[in-house]
Structure 1
Amino acid sequence: MKYLNIDDHHREAECAEDTVKSSELLVTRLDELRAELETLKGTERVKPLLDSGYILLDLVGREAEAHAAAKEALTLAIEDEQWQPAVEACDIIYQAGKDDAVAALTHGIWLGVTYPIDPELSVAMLQHLVEETPDNSDGAAVAAATACYIADMRAEGKQHDELGFFTGQLLGQVARRHTNGACDTQELFDIWMDRLELKEPGKFLPRLAMILDVLVPTDQWWFDRDALRSKIPE
């Protein structure tokens, strides 16, 4: 899968020579993208900026450049109502690890839940939130439950099966860490789900909205959510 953090250890298994070759290929591709960007204006720049941003994240010490590319892409994408690229930009800004990382994650989750973009990307943003949240916090449980809901409602075919399995595993991991391993049977897991009201979207989605408002106060959002909501078809 493209966006999800499934295996953090595969890079460690690569030999040094392969890593150098991979970096050289990335730099070559980055140079190509930058040459392309010199010929483009406006929203034509969004995709090569995002491609550049993801490449820069894979190059040691290039996070600031990735951040800059993604910020430009985010502004252009929002202006043109390109929601999928906007969330990708938020993903890059978050992974760049600068001061606005949590704000970018918050904005990306809001867009990824509000708009019917690729469900894998929405789930990836929620996975980031799970990773950011303390073990004993209900926020991780709400994020994982939302990920399960999005996977079930938006994904189809093979993607539905893969995302359904992934999000189910994610929710199970959150349950175990939230209860210090006490959810070791289906019965106990169901009790935990009921206690935290994680079975009804009408209850856990408003809680997610509250979490996002805590992470980024209303007066610090990068865009007007009410204005964006007003454009959503009934």
Structure 2
Amino acid sequence: MSDFEIDEAMFGNKAQAAHPEMSLEEQLQLHQQHVAELPEDAPAIDRARARLDVAELLLALERKDEAWQEGRDIIDTFLNEEAWQDAVETYNVLFQCEQPASLSALGQGVWLAVTFPIMPQTTITMLNHIIDETPADADGAAVAAITSHYIADLRAPEDKHESLTFLTSKILADVARRHSNVESQEQMDMWLKKLELEDPKAFLPRLSMVIDVLVQDDWWFDREAVREKLPVH
């Protein structure tokens, strides 16, 4: 596992952050009441976002079966509405529910997080899950770590760029150390070259292979149709 824990505050757990003075059970009851009181004609995405808050709190309470059901019920709404940030946050919950399809959820979430310019903190968090799930001597963690660093450099806003790239460089160094006992910059340069991690045109297709292994053809959306929504594909 990575030595660098990703702060869930980076992910934007709005449900817990909104009422830090309340217990998780009290927060859950509050958010469940909010869902119940939504008008019947409330926009589907508003209802889904309210239920995502519930799912996050259920997960925090280790009620993983219930959190899974909430997340699975709302993911299609976010996908249909092209609400990619919300979709990835939902996939994050689904992965952590430790259900039979949780690895598929992780792969799909990572694909969306890398494909679309959502919050870079979210993408880093999702890629870190791959690192945690990958054996120390496997290349998949290296591919996830270099992609994380690439995304941070490419997408982080100016006021977050230094802190995020510092974090991802540390994650990359940690992965290199456990993969090949890399300790110096010279060794790092050699390691990056050996594993072909210097060019995104080389490592991004390899990330796609890692994602395919995770998902195992259990896609919950049409990737080709989603690709068509990109400005360049």
Work out whether the TM-score is over 0.5: yes
TM-score with structure 1 setting the length: 0.86
Query: RCO higher in 1 or 2 (8 Å CA, sep ≥ 6)?
Result: 2
Q: Alignment partner for residue 228 of structure 1, among 205, 215, 226?
A: 226
Whether the 8 Å contact between 2:104 and 2:216 is mirrored in structure 1 is no
Whether the 8 Å contact between 2:32 and 2:54 is mirrored in structure 1 is no
TM-score with structure 2 setting the length: 0.86
Deviations 1:21-42 (A, max 9, x none): 6234323433333324564452
- CA 1:32/1:79 → structure 2, altered by over 3 Å: closer, same or farther? same
CA distance in 2, matches of 1:73, 1:31: 15
Q: Which residue of 1 aligns with 2:126?
A: 125
The aligned runs of 1:155-174 (5 Å cut-off) are: 155-174=156-175
Deviation at 1:140, TM superposition (A): 0.1
CA distance in 2, matches of 1:119, 1:23: 27
Greater Cα shift, 151-160 or 28-37: 28-37
Deviation at 1:83, TM superposition (A): 0.8
Greater Cα shift, 68-77 or 29-38: 29-38
Q: Alignment partner for residue 49 of structure 2, among 44, 47, 50?
A: 47
Structure 2 gap segments, 5+ residues each: 9-19
Deviation at 1:20, TM superposition (A): 11
Deviation at 1:217, TM superposition (A): 2.8
Structure 1 gap segments, 5+ residues each: 8-18
Specify the code of the residue in structure 1 equivalent to 2:46.
E
Identity of counterpart residues, as a percentage?
41
Whether the 8 Å contact between 1:155 and 1:163 is mirrored in structure 2 is yes
Deviations 1:178-214 (A, max 9, x none): 01xx211111111111111111101000000111112
Greater Cα shift, 135-144 or 163-172: 163-172
CA distance in 2, matches of 1:99, 1:20: 35
Aligned length: 216
1:198 is aligned to 2:194: no
- CA 1:121/1:20 → structure 2, altered by over 3 Å: closer, same or farther? closer
Specify the code of the residue in structure 2 equivalent to 1:162.
S
Specify the code of the residue in structure 2 equivalent to 1:53.
A
Greater Cα shift, 207-216 or 41-50: 41-50
Whether the 8 Å contact between 2:106 and 2:214 is mirrored in structure 1 is no
CA distance in 2, matches of 1:37, 1:203: 48
